[in-house]
Structure 1
Amino acid sequence: MRSIRLAYLTILTAAIAGCEKKPTADTTASSHTVVSVAKVQSLQPSLPIVLPGELKAWNRTLIVGKVKGYVGKLYVDRGSRVKKGQPLAELEAPEVLAALNQARAQVSSAQASLIEHRAKQKVSAATYRRIVETNRTEGAVSANELDMAYARMMSDSALAEASAQNLEAARAQMASQQQLVAYLSVRAPFDGTITERNISPGDLVGADGNKPLFILEDKSRLRLTVAIPENLANALSENSSVSFTVQADPSKSYEAHFARSSNSVDEKNRSMLAEFDFENTDDNLKAGMYAEVRLPITRNKPTLFVPRTSIIHSTEGVFLVRVNNQTAEWVAVQKGNSLDSLVEVFGPVKEGEQIVKSASEELRNGQAISLN
C-alpha cells in the first residue's frame, strides 16, 4: 500500500513540473501588424453631382391698380397670352376724369392770363420808350412821370413772368391727371401669360388692395436656380452647362447654360445661388417645376484623393492612417467629393505618401506595422 502512494506522488510531481515549463522563443507571436498600403493621389477630375433646382419664369410681375376705381371691363383671363402694351382691364373712376377736366380748365385760364399780362407788358414797355425819347427835350417830361413809367413796365414784366410760370404749373398738373387717367387702362408691361386673375367686373380696386389684379409671367425663357453648397462655391466655372430632368417627364433630359450667380454665400443655408438659362421655345416646361440637376464640378486646382476603405470614421472625427517609419500615424482630415472608389480629402497629407489601404479603429496610433 505504501509503495502505491509513493508512485502516485511521483507522477503528480512530474505533471506539475511539466505545467510550469516556460515557452520557447519559437512560439512567441509577432507584435507587428501586417497591412496593405496605398498612395495619396493628386487629381483634378470633373465630378458630376446631383442637386435640386427650381425653374422660374424669366419675368414675373404682380399687376396692381395705380388708382382707385371700379372694374369696368375685363379683356383677359387665366392662361391668356398677351403682348406688351395690350389692355388687360378698364377701370372706372369719374372723380379722376373730373380732376383732368379741371386741370385742363386751369391751363386755359393760365394761358389767357399770360396773354393779358404780356400785352400789358408790351404796352408799358412802349410807353416807357416814348417817354424816354421825349425826355431828351429838356423840361418836356417830369422825373416823377419817367419813374412811374419805368415802374409800370417792370411790374407788367414781372406779372407776365409769373403768368408764364403759372401756365407751366398748370400744364404739369394736367399731365399728372392725364397719367392717372391712363392708369385706368391696365396694360401688360411685357409679353407673357396671365397666370392669375383676382378681379371681376364691378370690383373696387386700388393701390392699397391686398391682392394683385393679375399675375403675369414670361415663360419663353426660364431661369433654373440651383443652390450650390459652400464647399463647391469656387468649383463652378462660367462656361459650364448642366443637364436636368423634371418629374413631369423623367425620361427626357434638358440642358441649360450657366448665366449668373450671386457670388455670395447665404448665411442661413450656407449656399450660393446660381442661375442657368433655358430657352423654353416649345413651352414644354412650366415655371415652378422642381428639377433634378446634374452639375459637373471641377476644382480650380488639383486636390488629394485616397481609397474609400482607407478612411476611419470615429467619434473623434475622420482620420487616415499614414505609414511613418513602420509605425501607424493617425492623421485628421476632412472629406470632400467621391470619385468611384476614391474620396477627396483635405488635411496635412501630401501626394505620394503611403497610407493604410484598409484601415480600422483596431489599428491604433503609434502601433508598429509591417508592409504587405
Structure 2
Amino acid sequence: MTDRKPSGKRLLYMGVGGLTLAALLVANGIAARTRHERDVTAWTEAAAVPMVSVFQPTQNAAGDTLRLPARLEAWSKAPIHARVSGYLKDWKSDIGSQVQAGQVLAQIDSPDLDQQVAQAHAHMLQEQANARLAQTTATRWKNLVNTHSVSQQEADEKSSNAAAAQANAQAAEADFARLSALEAYKTIRAPFSGTITARNTDIGQLVKADSDSDPELFDIADTHQLRLYVPVPQNYASVIRPGLQVQLSVPEHPGKTFSARLVGNSTAVDARSGTLLAQFVADNPDNALLPGDYAEATIPVPADTHGVSIPASALIFRAKGTQVAVLDAQKHVHLRDIHIGLDLGERLVIDQGLKPADTVIDNPPDALREGDLVKLADAGEQHARKA
C-alpha cells in the first residue's frame, strides 16, 4: 500500500487554521485576564472604602446620674486623752457602749496632783493673810500722815506694799483655781452623747498627761447622723447646688440605698486631685451606716438641652485634640472638634461641636482621614436607634 502525500494547498489551509485557532486562544486569554484584573481592581477599590457604623446624638433632656466613690464619717468624733498624770483607777464604759454627755468613762488616781492642790490652797491662804495685814498697815499709816506722825513717803510705801500683797493673793488664788480645775480631769467624762468606738487603757495603767506618744484612752463617735464626703471632679462642680439630694449605698447592705442632703462644699478645687469636696448629711436612726464606711454616691445630673449625648467609643484622640468623625450627605468624613461638658463614663455630654442632626461614626478606624469616603454597615441604623 503506497503512502499519499498531502497537497501543498491542503497544507496551507491547515497552517492557516492552526494560526487562527492559536490567535483565538490568545485573544480569549487576554480578554479573560483583562476581565480578572478589572474585577480585582473593582474589588480592591471597594475593599479600600471602610465600613462604619453611625448614630445621631441625642439631647440630654431627661437628665442623668453620676456615681462617685465617697466615705462616711461620724457627725462628731473625739479621741479622749488624759489631762492629768497618774494611774487609771477604773473605767466605766467599754467599746460599743452608748453614753450620754457628761457620763463618767473612767477615773484617774493622781496623788501628786492632790498634793499640789493642797499646797496651792495653803499658799493662797498665806497670801490672803499677808494682803489683809498689808492693807491694815497701809490704812494706819495713812491716818498717821494726817497727824504728821509719819512722812507721806512712808505712807505711800505702805500703800504700795498693800497693793503688791493683794496682787500676790490674787495670783495664788488663780493658781489654786487652775489646779482645782485640773483636778476635775481626774474624772474622765463623755464630751457628747455617742458610742464608745475604742478603749485603749485598763485598770492600773500609767497615764501621762498631754503625751503625743501615748494613744488616746477612749474614742467616742456620735452616729445618729453621718457626714458623707464626696470628692466631685471639677467637670461636675456645677452639679453641686443648694438643696441637692443624693442616694448612697454601702457594701454591707447590697441593694439598699440611703438618702443624704447637701450641707456644704469646700468652695475650692483641690489642686492635687482636681476635685471639689462636697459634704452631705445622712440620718442614721438605726445605726445601719457605720463611720469610716466606703460608700458610693449617686448624684442626679440635671437635664441639659444645650448639650448632646454620645457614646465614649466615638471619640478620636489625635494631636489636634478631642474630635469626632461626622458624615455629610455624600458619605464623606469630616473631623470635627468638640468639647466634653460631662464625662459620665460610657456616655459623654458634648456642649460644643455637635448637633442632634449630625451623623457621627462610632468606633472610627485609626486610619480615618478628612474627606475619606465610607460606606455604612447594616447595623448602623440599629445602633443609631440605641444611641
Q: Do the two structures share a fold, i.e. TM-score over 0.5?
A: yes
- Alpha carbons of 1:43 and 1:248: their partners in 2 closer, same or farther (altered >3 Å)? closer
Equivalent position to 2:223, from 201, 219, 225: 219
The Cα offsets for residues 136-158 of structure 1, whole Å up to 9 and x where unpaired, read as xxxxxxxxx7xx52111101110
Distance in 2, Cα, partners of 1:56 & 1:247: 16
Query: What letter corresponds to residue 197 of structure 2 in structure 1?
Result: T
Structure 2, gaps ≥5 residues long:
1-10, 382-387
Is structure 2 residue 99 aligned with structure 1 residue 95? Answer: no
Equivalent position to 1:288, from 281, 289, 292: 292
Query: What letter corresponds to residue 335 of structure 2 in structure 1?
Result: W
Paired residues of 2:84 and 2:182 also in contact (CA < 8 A): yes
- Alpha carbons of 1:82 and 1:33: their partners in 2 closer, same or farther (altered >3 Å)? closer
- Aligned match of 1:124: 141
The Cα offsets for residues 21-63 of structure 1, whole Å up to 9 and x where unpaired, read as 678xx99969998988765555454211222222211111110
**SS in structure 2 opposite 1:322?**
strand
Paired residues of 1:235 and 1:299 also in contact (CA < 8 A): no
Paired residues of 1:234 and 1:300 also in contact (CA < 8 A): no
Structure 1, gaps ≥5 residues long:
132-144
- Aligned match of 2:196: 194
**C-alpha deviation, 1:332, in angstroms:** 4.2
**C-alpha deviation, 1:231, in angstroms:** 2.3
Is structure 2 residue 331 aligned with structure 1 residue 329? Answer: no
Equivalent position to 2:160, from 158, 179, 184: 158
Paired residues of 2:135 and 2:162 also in contact (CA < 8 A): yes
Distance in 1, Cα, partners of 2:317 & 2:22: 53
- Alpha carbons of 1:5 and 1:214: their partners in 2 closer, same or farther (altered >3 Å)? farther
**C-alpha deviation, 1:127, in angstroms:** 1.0
Equivalent position to 1:344, from 332, 346, 349: 349
- Alpha carbons of 1:292 and 1:339: their partners in 2 closer, same or farther (altered >3 Å)? closer
TM-score by length of 2: 0.79
Once superposed, what is the RMSD of the aligned Cα atoms? 3.4
Distance in 2, Cα, partners of 1:213 & 1:234: 43
Distance in 1, Cα, partners of 2:54 & 2:100: 68
Matched residue pairs, number? Answer: 352
- Aligned match of 2:7: none
**SS in structure 2 opposite 1:201?**
coil
Query: What letter corresponds to residue 287 of structure 2 in structure 1?
Result: D
Equivalent position to 1:80, from 71, 88, 97: 97
The Cα offsets for residues 228-254 of structure 1, whole Å up to 9 and x where unpaired, read as 223222222221111222232223321
Q: Where do residues 49-68 of structure 1 align in structure 2 (5 Å cutoff)?
A: 49-68=66-85
- Alpha carbons of 1:19 and 1:45: their partners in 2 closer, same or farther (altered >3 Å)? same
Paired residues of 1:322 and 1:353 also in contact (CA < 8 A): no
- Aligned match of 2:23: 13
- Alpha carbons of 1:322 and 1:112: their partners in 2 closer, same or farther (altered >3 Å)? same
**SS in structure 2 opposite 1:106?**
helix
Paired residues of 1:320 and 1:359 also in contact (CA < 8 A): no
**SS in structure 2 opposite 1:252?**
coil
Query: What letter corresponds to residue 262 of structure 1 in structure 2?
Result: S
Distance in 2, Cα, partners of 1:339 & 1:351: 21
- Aligned match of 1:174: 176
Paired residues of 2:57 and 2:360 also in contact (CA < 8 A): no
Aligned identity (percent) is 26
- Alpha carbons of 1:15 and 1:62: their partners in 2 closer, same or farther (altered >3 Å)? same
**C-alpha deviation, 1:313, in angstroms:** 4.7
Equivalent position to 1:240, from 240, 244, 266: 244
Equivalent position to 1:364, from 369, 375, 379: 369
Distance in 2, Cα, partners of 1:93 & 1:370: 89
Distance in 2, Cα, partners of 1:129 & 1:103: 40
